[in-house]
Chain A
């Protein structure tokens, strides 16, 4: 593919919409809000990303997948810059992202449960009669719950 016209940020955004979080594959990196900026200078593209948690092992893979997706679309001069400030927050997660999480079986972040506590809505049966099992779950971003009604265990994507 020959790129002879100016690169549009829209086009780049569309490509980034296809890059998913390897640990929560139902979310794209755009849904998560970790893409902070896209800078275009001629043929050169700089993608500014921010990590969710400092120790999140998915970040290196995400950077690689961004590079791959852009390369597949003919964009090869790509720099990926990671910035820490302002610190990532679940407030940046899109509404579509939250709906996708629920459909996937993960309760979406909810301001009411800024500190994880009993009562997060069960993503399976919508019951509020649920209990917190642990503030730490299978990945840094999740807490572990169980529903007292349908008995299903589930993850809650923590406010951060």
Chain B
């Protein structure tokens, strides 16, 4: 029971950390200054959320563990993040679409989690929800802008859908530890919301795509190792170094 909760919290922590790290790669490289600031703001929000989850997981695990050890000293196979969030940034369109798919999912999920019987999980989720509203509004506006924009932006969005859609199914396949909320029940609403935004963007909704899974169980695409190599470098090279 306790282990299930710990694993679930770590899954939420890892997912938000890895997406924060990916978005932070845009720092100084955004298409225009305001959007560079927007994507890094979202990164910071996600990092804050992941810290809250890691801190809570550390309390549940007990002993001498802490948020930093959980983020910097676990190996690839121990990370339980969604495959979607570890996918490369690609171009701006791919980053936008990844953020939109995730924010739409995170919004529906956290709406449920804020009513969790676990008080701390509920508190973190309720707080994060206020931030997610901004991420969702911002990313869905961008999907429409690019999907319904120029021939070039549209073709890039089509490519991004082709690249990322296969990683969206995993969100709704519950892991053994995801007992706090009925994940499957979110699928229909997520698809309806995405359908609405895609219709507004004149983008096609893919059908019959084989869905990749495994991230929640620690089986990742080749990209996660590279992310962790960079993220954990200082702690691995200089163990126990502090800021």
Contacts and interface: CB of A to CB of B under 8 A. Distances in A.
Interface of A: 51, 53-57, 83-88, 115, 133-138, 140, 144, 160
Contact of A140 (B45, B119, B124, B127): B45
Given A84-B127, A138-B37, A56 B48 contact: yes
Interface residues of B, number: 27
A51 B87 CA distance: 31
B123 A87 contact: yes
A85 B37 contact: no
Interface of B: 34-35, 37-38, 41-42, 44-49, 51-52, 119-120, 122-124, 126-128, 130-131, 134, 137-138
B51 A54 contact: yes
Given A55-B51, A56-B48, A87-B130, 6 more contacts: A54-B45, A55-B48, A55-B49, A134-B35, A135-B137, A136-B38
Contacts of A136: 34, 37-38, 41-42, 134, 138
A86 B138 CA distance: 25
A54 B55 CA distance: 12
Q: Which of B38, B127, B134 has the most CB of A within 10 A?
A: B127
Nearest to A50: B127
B130 A140 contact: no
A135 B42 CA distance: 11
Contacts of B122: 85
A83 B38 CA distance: 27
A55 B44 contact: yes
Q: Which of A55, A83, A88 has the most CB of B within 10 A?
A: A55
B52 to A, nearest CB: 6
A85 B123 contact: yes
B124 A134 contact: no
Given A140-B41, A144-B34, A87 B47 contact: no
Contact of A135 (B38, B124, B130): B38
B226 to A, nearest CB: 24
Contact of A55 (B37, B38, B45, B123): B45
A86 B126 CA distance: 8
B37 A115 contact: no
